[in-house]
Amino acid sequence: MNKQEKRLKKEISKAKNILILTHRGPDIDAFCSMLLLYKELINIFPSKRITMKTRQYPTVKLPQMENINLVEEIDSENEDLIICTDSSEWELFVDEHKDGIFNSKVTKFFIDHHRIDEERDEVVNELRSSATEQVYVTLKRIFEKKFKVDEDIASLVQYGIVDDTGRFLYDITTPETMRVFAEVMEFHRVDLEEFAYKSKKFPKDATDAVVEFLKTLKIEGDMAYMYMPKEIIDEKGLSKQGVNTAQAFLRDSYLRFIQGVHWGFIVRPSYDYVNKWYVSFRSTKGYQDVEVIAKKLNGGGHEYSSATKITANTVEEVVERVLGVVNEVVSS
C-alpha cells in the first residue's frame, strides 16, 4: 500500500456518506471505474451511504448502472468524502458555474491512470491501463480479506480494461493488466464480442454527421484533421448524439488510418457551452506525441490520445489556433 492508498483507506473507513463521481462526457472506463468502486464499497460497507451522480447514463448496459443518480447539477448533500475516477482534475468532474459542489471543502480523492506531472497526496495513480484496473488493485490492497469479487465486479473490470486498452492493443496494457483480467475472468466471463458489438452501435443520423465531418477533411504531411462548423449542425439539424458518435468513429477508426497519415485531430462544438469546442488528438506509435500539443493548449492525456477544450467564436478560429501550436511543436 502506498501513502495515497493508506490515506484513502483511512478516509473511507471514517466517512459515513461517500459521493462517487466520474469525469464529464464519461467513456466506458469512466463508468466502469465508478460503478466498480460503488459496488465494492457497498459490499464491504453496507451501512455507509454511498451515492453515484452523473449527467448521463452509459450507452451500453453495465452492471449497477440502475443505481446511478442522474442529475443536472451536482450540489453538496452532506457527503463527507468525494471520490472521483478516471481523471485527477476537479474541473473535469464539476462545473464552476453550474454545480453547487464546486467549492466544497469536503475531502476529495482521485483514482486515475493518466500521466500527471507531480505526485499528489489525494491522487492514487500507478499509470495503469485504465481507471478500472487501478480501482480494482487499490481496493484489493486496501481491504485485503474483506475484498470480494462478484459477478458485477468481474464484469465491470473486463469491460473497463477491454475498452480503455482497445482490446489489449495499446502500450498501457501490462502483464499486471492481464493478470487482473485473468483473475476476474476466472470468476465470471463476460461476452466481449457482444459487448463490443453493442458498444459500437450508432444512431442513424450519425451518418449525416460523418458526411459533414469528411467534407472538411484536410491532410497536411502525415497529419489529418476534420471539424464541424456550428452552422452546419443547425442547417442539417444534426443531433448532439449524432455529431458526437460521428466524431468518435472518425477519431478512432478513420483519422490516422488514411494511407500516409499517422496522426491528427478532430474538432466538434460543445453542446453544453456556447463558444466552447472540443479538440481530440490521435496518433500512432513512433510518430507525433500529441500530449505535448494538447498540453500547450491547456489540455492533456496520453502520448497517442489527448484532448483539449478551446473557447472561440468560430471553428475556423479553433483550427487556426491548433495549427499554430502544431507548427510550433512539429518544427522544433
CB of 94 to Mn ion, least distance (A): 18
CB of 242 to Mn ion, least distance (A): 24
Task: Measure the CA–CA gap between 246 and 123, rounded to whole angstroms.
Answer: 33
At 281, is the secondary structure helix, strand, or coil?
strand
Task: Measure the CA–CA gap between 269 and 274, rounded to whole angstroms.
Answer: 9
Among candidate residues 40, 155, 25, 154, the one with its CA nearest the CA of residue 86? 25
Distances (CA, A) of 153 to 5, 139, 173, 330: 20, 12, 20, 44
The count of chain residues that interact with Mn ion, using the rule CB under 5 A, is: 4
Q: Contacting Mn ion (CB under 5 A), which of 5, 86, 163, 291?
A: 86
Which run of H or of E encompasses 280?
strand 276-282
Determine the residue type at 222. D
CB of 33 to Mn ion, least distance (A): 7
Is 112 an interacting residue with respect to Mn ion (CB under 5 A)? no
Stretch that binds Mn ion, among 64-72, 86-94, 96-104, 215-223 (CB under 5 A): 86-94
Question: Which of 112/152 has CB closer to Mn ion?
Answer: 112
Q: Contacting Mn ion (CB under 5 A), which of 5, 79, 112, 164?
A: 164
Among candidate residues 226, 209, 208, the one with its CA nearest the CA of residue 217? 226
Per CB under 5 A, contacts with Mn ion among 6-45 are: 29
Binding mask 118-147 for Mn ion (x = CB under 5 A): -------------x----------------
CB of 208 to Mn ion, least distance (A): 29
CB of 39 to Mn ion, least distance (A): 18
236 Cβ partners below 8 Å, 6+ apart? Answer: 208, 212
Binding site for Mn ion (CB under 5 A): 29, 86, 131, 164
